[in-house]
Amino acid sequence: MPRQLVLATSNKGKLAELQPLLADAGYALVTQGELGVEDAVEDGLSFIENAILKARHACAATGLPALADDSGLVVDALDGEPGLYSARYAGVHGDSAANIARLLERMQGLEGEQRRAHFHCVIVLMRHARDPQPLVVEGRWPGYVLEAPRGEGGFGYDPVFLVPEQQHTAAELDPALKNRISHRGLALAALRARLHEL
């Protein structure tokens, strides 16, 4: 029987990316939703704090090890906005169209290098709610914010995130390619390399 691991997220886009990335990591994956775990209160002041809060909350509710992802889009010219508040930038949690509209409005008039941004992802794996040594890994994906959305894939800010090497938005990429090069894919690769530490 493989050990169970709770995926401490309610974001369907993240789940769709995390599941294949963890498929052969030696865990039986179960989502917090399947176990009736409510969303944690994300009142940390950094990605790391929020990822720990979410993983700890799921561990405490289930008694199982848990993995959480806290991530967001960081725009240098906006002093790091939307950053920690990426999921609720326009006010309503998870309203991607409204979040994108707010972002494009805030970036009106910015050109060229001023449109630089990166996705940041912190993934935390905790063995139990009082684990003093959670595994913490990070990934970063640089790109540019376009002036209008392009593409149907992915989730969140993907339609306005241009990946310069591909000349495509993240929403135009094949999901397997996004998973190889994205902030989340890089964080998961770092996690897998360190699973033996547990």
Q: Which 63-122 positions form the footprint of ligand Y43 (CB under 6 A)?
A: 69-73, 86-87, 94, 119
> Is 31 labeled as ligand-binding?
no
> Is 85 labeled as ligand-binding?
no
Question: Does 95 qualify as catalytic in the annotation?
Answer: no
Quick one: CA torsion of 105, 109, 112, 117, rounded to 10 degrees? -30
The correct pick among 154, 168, 169, 186 for binding ligand Y43 (CB under 6 A) is 154
Can you spell out the DSSP letters for 93-119? TT-HHHHHHHHHHHTTT--GGGGEEEE
- CA–CA separation, 77 vs 93, rounded Å? 23
Whether 163 and 181 have beta carbons less than 8 Å apart is answered as yes
**Amino acid at the residue 160:** V
- Nearest-10 crossing angle of helices 12-22, 183-194: 40
Closest residue by Cα to residue 22 from 163, 136, 188: 188
The correct pick among 124, 135, 136, 170 for binding ligand Y43 (CB under 6 A) is 170
Nearer to ligand Y43, 48 or 132 (CB): 48
User: Catalytic one among 39, 69, 70, 79?
Assistant: 70
14 binds, among ligand Y43, Mg ion, none (CB under 5 to 8 A by kind): ligand Y43
> Is 183 labeled as ligand-binding?
yes
Q: Considering only 27-35, 79-87, 94-102, 156-164, which stretch makes contact with Mg ion by CB under 5 A?
A: 79-87
* 149 makes contact with ligand Y43 (CB under 6 A): no
> Is 24 labeled as ligand-binding?
no
Active site residues: 70
